[in-house]
Amino acid sequence: MLLRSVIIRSRLGEYTAETNGRVAFFDRADGKTGKLIRHFVLLDQGVKLMYEPWGWQNEWYADIIRVDPVGDGVIELSDLYVDLVIEGDGPTYRVIDLDDLADAVASGAISREDMDEALRRLQQFVDDHLHRGKDFPPRCMRSYIAHGRGEQTHAADGEEIAANA
């Protein structure tokens, strides 16, 4: 599948990303280690994944998010306050920041409907990708994961993409 460039906007800033329509990805320097970390956005699932952020070893961090196309080639991401830490390539995981979700609802930062959406996305992701050794990392992003998690990656159609695309 051919890749096209899009702009991803989030609380982290604005980044040029590549997408095949199902997954978008961009690289961002980790503020703690300086290492480039690839961020994967599962567009139809509302999940953003990173491998070994903040100097972690052999762990994935997953944000449950809302994905909103806001214009031609622009995608906005909104944090829904629930996160996962996934050990290795799963299936072991921890759900974290449920207290942040509760605080966001209590303060009015997000609505009850947003909370419902976050919890449903979380459950769907766990069911689809982590329970009983399912599909993790998700198949739709595997061809964009750098070999050795940091050198180069290859698109599904064989097109080579630099790790800091």
Domain containing 114 — which CATH number?
A: 2.40.380.10
Cβ density class 131-158: b for 16+ within 10 Å, e for less: eeeeebbbebbebbbbeeeeeebebeee
Query: Is residue 163 in a domain?
Result: no
pLDDT tens for residues 29-53?
A: 998 899 999 999 999 999 999 999 9
**Higher-confidence residue: 15 or 2?**
15
* C-alpha closest to that of 45 among 108, 110, 136, 109: 136
How far is the C-alpha of 126 from the C-alpha of 21, rounded, in Å?
22
Query: Is residue 47 in a domain?
Result: yes
Q: What is the pTM of this model?
A: 0.86
Query: Is residue 68 in a domain?
Result: yes
Q: Is the pLDDT of residue 154 over 50?
A: no
- 146 — pLDDT class (breaks 50, 70, 90): confident
Mean pLDDT of 54-65: 95
Query: Is residue 164 in a domain?
Result: no
Q: What integer pLDDT is reported at residue 63 of this predicted model?
A: 98
- 132 — pLDDT class (breaks 50, 70, 90): confident
User: In this structure, which amino acid lies at residue 29?
Assistant: A
Share of the chain above pLDDT 70, in %: 87
Number of domains in the chain: 1
Q: How far does Cα 11 stand from its chain's mean position? A: 14
Q: How far does Cα 76 stand from its chain's mean position? A: 13
Query: Is residue 45 in a domain?
Result: yes
Share of the chain above pLDDT 90, in %: 78
Give the residue numbers spanning the domain of 40: 4-158
Task: Tell me the average pLDDT of the chain.
Answer: 88
